[in-house]
A and B are shown apart, each in its own frame.
Chain A
Amino acid sequence: MDWVNALVQGILLGGLYALFACGLSLLFGVMRIVNLAHGDLAVLAAFLAYATATVTGVSALWATVVVVPVFAVLGYLVHRGLLERSLAAGPLATLLVTFGLSIVVQNLLLESFSADSRTLDVGSLVSASLRITDDISVSYLAVLTFLLAAGVLVGLQLFLSRTQLGRIVRATSDDPEAATLVGADSRHVYGIATALAFATVALAGLMFAMRSSFDPNIGPSRLIFAFEAVVIGGLGSLWGTFVGGIVLGLAQTVAAQIDPALTLLAGHLLFLAVLAFRPQGLLPARSM
């Protein structure tokens, strides 16, 4: 039964990775931007929620309601003010800009909140769990995270495939120049895509922060999970990212069942194996 438990926990953990990775996948899929500040943005969201909860006294869950929309607006502004300018200069420029953003965010957080570890207090939710059998119990928080991830990914997919705005995002992603010929303002369209990516990374950052502690420097080590989920699943494909997250989560929990010391290593090895033997990922996309 321990193995079944490991599988269930792996899938639930994978939901968190998928939620975290979908913003990275979206920015790459739509604009070919590799966002090196992705992990730090998740941490920034956590600190923002922490500050909101501390100052106003509301629960961290309610802080989410504030932080996610704020991040969407922030995403739009970051695109229009920063990424847009670097896009024209080629992929290396955007890589450097997001790397710079990562350093700036880390140091701002260090300056404002010190290097102490924090947690987001969600009261009893953090330990509450549902006992399914004697050996398997799942935490409500993990289930909530998984459902959120599934909801966000399905929502994003529906947004891209069914809505007018989603269609123009796909059109602009496919051929920005031809898209302007049908009246699309690519700067605005990309801004919207960045806003969505930022909103999802904020959500993921908060879910991370509710289950484990965070500090200003933890962003880059979180970023690697998002990269692994995206690459395992297939670049630029949201369904792929979902599958990639779950496969990564499974690899970690199953390896932990063998020896807890193997947890992270197993994920990294799986990632390397995918890169070596199936570099297009498990569910590659034609494009977003």
Chain B
Amino acid sequence: MTALLELAGITKRFGLVTVADGIDLSVGHGEALGIVGPNGAGKTTLFSMISGDLAPDDGEVRFDGAVVTSRDAAARCRLGLGRTYQVPRPFEDMTVFENVLVAARYGAGLPTRAGYELATSVLAETGLAAQANLRAGALTLLQRKRLEVARALGTRPRLLLLDEVAGGLTDPEVEELVAIVRALRGRGLAIVWIEHVVRALTSTVDRLVCLAGGSIIGDGTPAEVLASAAVREVYLGSDPEAAPAAPERTAPDLLGKLLR
């Protein structure tokens, strides 16, 4: 059986900075993959190239056996690629329900009635049923993060790309989101999850990839990757070229998170 998502030699440069340097990566059906790496490692850029928001300079993106490198984001969404943004971007003036409904209608291609049903069940699944008729712009950060996941689920994805859904939340809030993701994982949805809050990842994913300087420097079970010398070195920041120092997250802070 072929992999659900395959990246072959994905390369992207912004001027002199190489944010993706010939990345090869594959994600199987129903697999949950976590991606970690210091800020500036190219994690979000990689997501954008998978979702179709950004075109790679070189390389190929294959989804479910078909080459999708030249298809736009809307087409990839309809094929079954769902994505969340690191900073939630709901349609502010629409209700929570409408936000998910447009996804069900256009992303999943459902007729009206089935769209309503999917939107209702997705909101229940993400714990937003009580907020369904609120204007999305009025939500709290946790609720916005939930809506970001709900809207992506509304497109009925076969692969869900989660970009730091736990970022900026308190510990109990992170637990709530992790529970949602774990439930999704339980029903066989393939997930690729970028996260700085590593313990949220390790409890959920079966495989972890560490990205630094546009290259994969670790790939394996969470325990293997976190124990590897290359990964620890990047997080310790002893090799400044491989790991551009993150201004708001110091190396000891990150190491603390890793070891927690």
- Which one, B78, B85, B92, contacts A174 given CB within 8 A? B92
- Which one, A167, A170, A185, A287, contacts B74 given CB within 8 A? A185
- Chain A residue numbers with a CB within 8 Å of B105 are 164, 167-168
- Chain A residue numbers with a CB within 8 Å of B53 are 177, 180-181
A164 nearest CB neighbor, chain B only: B105
Q: Is B149 an interface residue (CB 8 A)?
A: no
Nearest chain A CB to B124's CB is how many angstroms away? 19
Nearest chain B CB to A285's CB is how many angstroms away? 9
A223–B78 Cα distance when bound, in Å, is 41
Known interface pairs A167-B94, A167-B98, A177-B53. Does A182 touch B106 (Cβ–Cβ under 8 Å)? yes
Residue tally, chain A, CB below 8 Å to B: 19
- Chain A residue numbers with a CB within 8 Å of B108 are 183
A185 nearest CB neighbor, chain B only: B74
Known interface pairs A171-B91, A174-B94, A177-B53. Does A182 touch B112 (Cβ–Cβ under 8 Å)? no
Q: Is A175 an interface residue (CB 8 A)?
A: yes
Cβ of A178 and Cβ of B91 under 8 Å apart? yes
- Which one, B73, B90, B101, contacts A167 given CB within 8 A? B101
Nearest chain A CB to B82's CB is how many angstroms away? 8
Cβ of B89 and Cβ of A183 under 8 Å apart? no
Please provide the chain B residues from 137 to 154 with a CB less than 8 Å away from any CB of chain A in the complex.
Answer: 137, 151-152, 154
- Chain B residue numbers with a CB within 8 Å of A122 are none
A181–B53 Cα distance when bound, in Å, is 9
- Chain B residue numbers with a CB within 8 Å of A185 are 72, 74
Nearest chain B CB to A265's CB is how many angstroms away? 37
Nearest chain A CB to B77's CB is how many angstroms away? 4
- Chain A residue numbers with a CB within 8 Å of B72 are 180, 185
- Which one, B73, B98, B115, B137, contacts A180 given CB within 8 A? B73
- Chain A residue numbers with a CB within 8 Å of B239 are none
Cβ of A184 and Cβ of B74 under 8 Å apart? yes
- Chain B residue numbers with a CB within 8 Å of A183 are 74, 77-78, 103, 106-109, 155
Cβ of A184 and Cβ of B93 under 8 Å apart? no
A286 nearest CB neighbor, chain B only: B93
- Chain A residue numbers with a CB within 8 Å of B73 are 177, 180-181
- Chain B residue numbers with a CB within 8 Å of A174 are 91-94
A168–B91 Cα distance when bound, in Å, is 10
A180–B85 Cα distance when bound, in Å, is 13
Cβ of B83 and Cβ of A184 under 8 Å apart? no
B 23-58 to A, binary, CB cutoff 8 A, 1 in contact else 0? 000000000000000000000000000011100000
- Chain B residue numbers with a CB within 8 Å of A168 are 102, 105-106
- Chain A residue numbers with a CB within 8 Å of B115 are 164
Cβ of B77 and Cβ of A164 under 8 Å apart? no
Cβ of B152 and Cβ of A181 under 8 Å apart? yes
Nearest chain B CB to A190's CB is how many angstroms away? 13
Q: List 17 A-B contacts (CB under 8 A).
A: A164-B102, A167-B98, A168-B102, A170-B91, A170-B94, A171-B102, A175-B91, A178-B85, A178-B90, A178-B91, A179-B102, A181-B151, A182-B103, A182-B106, A183-B78, A184-B106, A286-B93
Known contacts A164-B106, A178-B91, then 15 further A-B pairs from the complex at CB < 8 Å, ordered by chain A residue:
A164-B102, A164-B105, A167-B105, A168-B102, A178-B89, A180-B74, A180-B77, A181-B73, A181-B151, A182-B151, A183-B77, A183-B106, A183-B155, A185-B74, A287-B92
Residues of A within 8 A of B (CB): 164, 167-168, 170-171, 174-175, 177-186, 286-287
